[in-house]
Structures are given as structure tokens and as C-alpha cells.
Amino acid sequence: MALEDAKTQVDTAITRKGLKGPSFENTFGGVASFLRRTLTKDLTDADIAVTGVPFDQSVTNRPGTRLGPRAIREASALQSPDAPYGWGYDVMSDFAIADYGDLAFDYADVAAFPAVLEAHIAGILAQDCAAVTLGGDHSITLPILRAHVAKHGPLGLIQFDAHTDSWPDDDPARIDHGTFVYKAVKEGLIDPARSIQIGIRTTNDDPLGIAIIDAPEVHRLGPDLVAARIKEVVGTGPAYLTFDIDALDPAFAPGTGTPVWGGLTSAQAAAILRGIAGVNLVGGDVVEVSPPFDTSGATAIAGAHVAVEILCLWGWTRR
């Protein structure tokens, strides 16, 4: 059946009918959308909207993550059209998933950007639709959190990252991918007692009350115990998951702006994400994929897999 479908399917991002079910379009051709989902601005029947935020004007080191959403979409076409492996259900068939396209913004008006992004995500959530975001640098998570908290109240944060991103910054006008957690705590967006950071391997003396499982501890404990600890910390309340691709070791994700050795393997990340099935996830993002430094495409591939796992986590409690 798949072979027969592949002979006739093309550009299913714009030609397919409905928002559910697999697409057997050739991986190497056609209009690129995330997982070949329908590209649409109409979320009337959608359960989840995948949207891109091509912004990288707050990076500390190497730029390029503005190209991340496009690369992640292209890499997602490499995944099997069958049900995601290891989940026991098919999120693409059980839920209506739309590719909502990218955020439109004035690249030269950086100061206005956070409010534009917050309104974009709020518009998705207002349609009783979940939002999964493809970044972009990690500064985008702060306005995304603001939009989610306006709907769900303060959240637990599950953060995969090499950096805590909680360096002090009391200037509301600054936009910085290394301070979004600090501002989220100070604004009351996240509950530190229900928040946890995984994969950390840079120094920050004040964790702001957030639990940390650093990369060496992940290697010692293994994915099962790490997942159990995440679920223990986050509890049953609403949670948001942000995955900075630099949580992975540069051997697995070289295409990022601030790579740090000693990170998670792809296998560890996959096992941990699947191990936290059952958390009350209300949204998520994958950020910091920088294609100019991703010569093999491995980083974008990892980013696409993470985004699929976020979709599956969201759907797990809503099947």
C-alpha cells in the first residue's frame, strides 16, 4: 500500500485532505512541512499546531538558528510515515496535527519581537489547540511560556539543556537566550519546585530552586531513573517541555551555537523522553538547531525526532 501511495502522492502538505493519517510521499521531494502534515492557517479541526519561529538575534556565540525551523521540517520527512516507534499508538492518526507555518515578524524590530511571538502562540491556544514550536534560539521560550501561563496558570518546566539559562537579568528590555529561565522564575511563570533541568554541564551558582540532573549524573543513573526523577519533581500539574538541542553531546548534535562536550546521547534522550510519558504536558519546543554548523544534517534530524516525541507526550494523556 505504501509503495502504491508513493507513486501518486506529492506535495501532500498542500494537497492532502484532512489533518490525520500517514503520508507516503517520497522523502526527497515535495513541499516540506513537519511530518508532511497539512500546511494551514485554519486550526478549526486541529488538536496540535506545529509552528516555526526563525529568530536568532539573542545568541551568545554562533548564529544560524533562524534557519532551524526549515531544516527541522526537511529532516522530519526522513522519518517513517508509520506510527512513531516505541509509543504503542500513532499520534499522527489519533490526533489532528497541522503545520501552522512560521511566525511573521519584523526582523529589524527586535524589541517588539517577544510580544509578537506571545500573541502568535496565544492565538493558537485560543483555538483550543496545543502548540509545539520549532526554534530559533532559546530566548523564544519566554514569550511562549507567557502565552501558556495565561491559559494554564504557572507551569512546571522540563528543560533539556547544557546550560541553565538562569543567569541574572533584571532588564526587561533585554532579549537573551541565556536568561529566559531567570525571567520566567521572577515573573512567576514557572514553579521552581516543579521544574527540572536535565543535561546541564556549565557552571551557574544559583539554580533558583530548580532541580538539576547534570550530564554526568545522567550518565551514572541511566534513563529510567532520570525519567522517574523528572516525573517525581513535575508531579501531576501542567508542565511545559523545552529541549535545547545542545543538551545532546556535539557528537550527536554539532549544529548548534554553544556546543559543550560530555552531553547526552541520542539514545539517552529518546529513552528519557519516552520514560516521562504520563506527565501533564501542555506544550513544548525544540530550539537552537543551527544548520550552518550541521554539515551532516544530524542535528536537524535529532531536532525533528525530539519534536515528534513532544507530540507523542502531549497525546499520551489525551488518547
Confidence band, pLDDT 50/70/90 cuts, at residue 3: low
pLDDT at 2 over 70: no
Region 237-254: mean pLDDT is 98
102 is in an annotated binding site: no
5 is in an annotated binding site: no
pLDDT number for residue 6: 75
Mean pLDDT of the chain: 96
Distance from the Cα of residue 1 to its chain's centroid: 32
Of 84 and 2, more confident: 84
pLDDT number for residue 5: 73
Is the overall model pTM greater than 0.85, yes or no? Answer: yes
What backbone torsions phi and psi does residue 105 show, to the nearest 5 degrees?
-155, 160
Q: Identify the structural domains of the chain with CATH numbers, from first to last.
A: 2-316 (3.40.800.10)
pLDDT at 1 over 60: no
305 is in an annotated binding site: no
What are the residues whose beta carbons fall under 8 Å from the beta carbon of 91, sequence distance 6 or more?
Answer: 83, 84, 97, 308, 311, 312, 314, 315
The predicted-structure confidence for 285-317, as pLDDT tens digits, reads as follows 999 999 999 999 999 999 999 999 999 999 999
pLDDT at 252 over 80: yes
Q: How far apart are CA 112 and CA 208, in angstroms?
A: 28
The predicted-structure confidence for 113-138, as pLDDT tens digits, reads as follows 999 999 999 999 999 999 999 999 99
Cβ neighbours, 10 Å, residue 135: 30
137 is in an annotated binding site: no
Query: Burial code of 112-125, b = ≥16 C-beta within 10 A, e = fewer?
Result: ebbebbbebbbbbb
176 is in an annotated binding site: no
Could you list the beta-strand ranges (E) of the chain. 38-39, 48-53, 97-102, 130-135, 156-160, 196-198, 211-213, 238-244, 280-287
The predicted-structure confidence for 196-242, as pLDDT tens digits, reads as follows 999 999 999 999 999 999 999 999 999 999 999 999 999 999 999 99
